[in-house]
């Protein structure tokens, strides 16, 4: 891929991103999971469920 093709691709994607409304961009963004499950996996969730009962 030449530099010009890459620059055209970047320009197209940037323009497409800027043309979409802010609300639609926010809807596409996936919600982040809690930092405990992201760092330690399912262990904190299982402990939390165990302590609730």
The beta-strand segments (E) located in 1-53 are none
Residues 32-42, mean pLDDT to the nearest whole number: 77
Q: Domain containing 23: what range?
A: 3-52
Task: Judge whether residue 39 has pLDDT over 80.
Answer: no
User: So what's the pLDDT on residue 24?
Assistant: 87
Angstrom distance (rounded) from CA 2 to CA 40: 42
% the chain with pLDDT above 70: 98
Angstrom distance (rounded) from CA 6 to CA 47: 49
User: So what's the pLDDT on residue 41?
Assistant: 79
Q: How many separate domains does the chain show?
A: 1
Residues 9-26, mean pLDDT to the nearest whole number: 91
Predicted TM-score of the model (pTM): 0.48
User: So what's the pLDDT on residue 7?
Assistant: 96
């Amino acid at each position: 891929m030449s530099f010009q093709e890459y620059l055209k691709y970047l320009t197209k994607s940037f323009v497409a991103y800027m043309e979409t409304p802010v609300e639609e961009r926010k809807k596409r963004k996936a919600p982040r999971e809690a930092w405990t499950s992201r760092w330690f996996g399912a262990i904190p969730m299982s402990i939390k469920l165990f302590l609730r009962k």
